[in-house]
Structure 1
Amino acid sequence: MSIGERLREERNRLGLIQQDAQKIAGVSYVTYLAYEQGKSFPNAETLSSLHSAGFDVLYVVTGVRNSSTLSNEDSSLLADLNQVDEKGRTLAVTTIRSLLDTYKRLS
């Protein structure tokens, strides 16, 4: 399997469309398409951006899954969280922590 195929697989695992991934990567749509088609390859900066959104970059580059990879649901949730501004992120984290604390007390 090629880097482009693994990149597409990761995008699908996270429930993203190509336009979402190209925005996360910070590249044009045509450039992102070229990555998935194997016509060109993402640089380190682009891979870093994709990693921040939940892509398993180790897998994309080497074909070896990162043993600490999150579940699809967790990765998708983190990808959504990474797409909101700092205010939204703070609100989401505070809400989740509050819900978890309540759940622990009730359990």
Structure 2
Amino acid sequence: MNNFPLRLRQERRRLGINQADFGSAGGVLKQAQSNYEKGLRYPDASYLAGIAEIGVDVLYLLTGRTSDPATLALDPDEELLIAGYRELKPREKKGVLGLLAATIGAHEAEADTGEPGPG
């Protein structure tokens, strides 16, 4: 359950629900919800059943694999990258995308010419 807190926060944000209301759906107070999202505590089955009722993908929370077979499962590094990216401010996101574009461009140049790309 190493990425459980991260996935829980992602699901709450995906649904656009604040911590107090999300926790309430699971039968807990905002402080308990905060502790779950920080990885300080882990919820019980009744909490999971409650949040499933509001649209949370509990299989994703527990395993990192979605219940929708059409959705591509991410490996833990990809999951961490995406979650971290979502936490960034717009300017920081732009920097990360620039770095990614430069890195991909360097790899494409290397593939095209057989020589290292710029950078």
TM-score, structure 1 length as denominator?
0.60
Partner deviation per Cα, 1:57-89 (whole Å, 9 max, x = no partner)? 0001111111169xxxxxxxxxxxxxxxxxxxx
Q: Distance in 1 between matches of 2:10 and 2:4?
A: 10
2:117 maps to which residue? none
Of all paired residues, the percent bearing the same amino acid is 36
CA RMSD of aligned residues (A): 1.6
Q: Distance in 2 between matches of 1:15 and 1:68?
A: 23
Could you tell me which runs of 5 or more consecutive residues in structure 1 were left unpaired when the two chains were aligned. Answer: 70-107
Q: Distance in 2 between matches of 1:29 and 1:68?
A: 32
1:8 maps to which residue? 9
Structure number with greater CO (CA < 8 Å, separation at least 6) is: 1
Could you tell me which runs of 5 or more consecutive residues in structure 2 were left unpaired when the two chains were aligned. Answer: 71-119
2:25 maps to which residue? 24
Q: Distance in 1 between matches of 2:60 and 2:44?
A: 15
Q: Distance in 1 between matches of 2:49 and 2:6?
A: 18
| Structure 1 runs, 4 residues or longer, greater than 6 Å off | none
Largest Rg, 1 or 2: 2
Give the number of aligned pairs. 69
